[in-house]
Amino acid sequence: MKLYKYIFILTVFASLQFNYGQTTNHLLLRQPNNQFIVLLDTGYISGNSNKIYDLKKYSEPVKLESGLKINQLKTVYSEKEVFLVDPNEGHVYIFEDEKIKRLDNDYRFVYPYPPIFFSFNESLYLVGGNFEINEYNTVKRFNFKTKRWDNIKTNGFYPKGTKEAIFNIVDDLLWIYNANSLNEELNEKPVLNAYSLDLINFEWKKQGVVNPALNNFWSKANNTYVNNDVYMAHDKANNRLLRFNILKNSLESSLFLFNRAIENFIPLNERQLLVSFLSTEKKELKLEVVPQISFLEKVTYLVRNQEVFKILQKNLFYAIVFFFLFGMLTLSYLRKIFVLNDNILTNGIKQLILEDDEVEFITYLAKRKVVLNDDVLKIVHNPTRTYDANIKRKNNLVSKVNRKIRKTFKMRLFSQERYREDMRQTAFYLGKGFVIKLKKKES
| In 40-177, beta strands by DSSP E | 43-47, 56-57, 74-77, 82-85, 92-96, 99-102, 116-120, 123-127, 139-143, 148-151, 155-156, 166-170, 173-177
Cα 324 from chain centroid (whole Å): 32
Q: Are 214 and 302 in contact, with CB atoms under 8 Å apart?
A: yes
The candidate with the shortest Cα–Cα distance to 25, out of 263, 241, 224, is: 263
pLDDT, tens only, 390-438:
999 999 999 999 999 999 988 888 998 888 888 888 899 998 888 899 9
Listed by start position, the domains of the chain span 2-303, 336-438
Q: HSE (CB half, 13 Å, CA atoms) of 152?
A: 23
Q: Tell me: pLDDT of 385 over 60.
A: yes
**Mean pLDDT of the residues in the chain:** 81
Q: Tell me: pLDDT of 335 over 90.
A: no
Identify the architecture of domain 336-438 in CATH.
Answer: Orthogonal Bundle (1.10)
The candidate with the shortest Cα–Cα distance to 227, out of 124, 77, 85, is: 77
Q: Tell me: pLDDT of 13 over 60.
A: no
Amino acid in the structure at residue 363: T
CATH 2.120.10 fits 2-303, yes or no: yes
Share of the chain above pLDDT 90, in %: 27
Q: Which residue has the higher pLDDT, 356 or 336?
A: 356
C-alpha to C-alpha distance for 326 and 442, rounded to whole angstroms: 33
C-alpha to C-alpha distance for 19 and 55, rounded to whole angstroms: 10
Question: Among 205-219, 325-339, 355-369, which stretch is predicted with the lowest mean pLDDT?
Answer: 325-339
C-alpha to C-alpha distance for 313 and 322, rounded to whole angstroms: 14
pLDDT, tens only, 221-272:
567 888 877 788 888 777 788 888 887 888 888 876 666 778 888 888 877 8
Other residues' Cβ atoms within 10 Å of the Cβ of residue 232 = 22
Helix (H) or strand (E) holding 378: helix 373-380
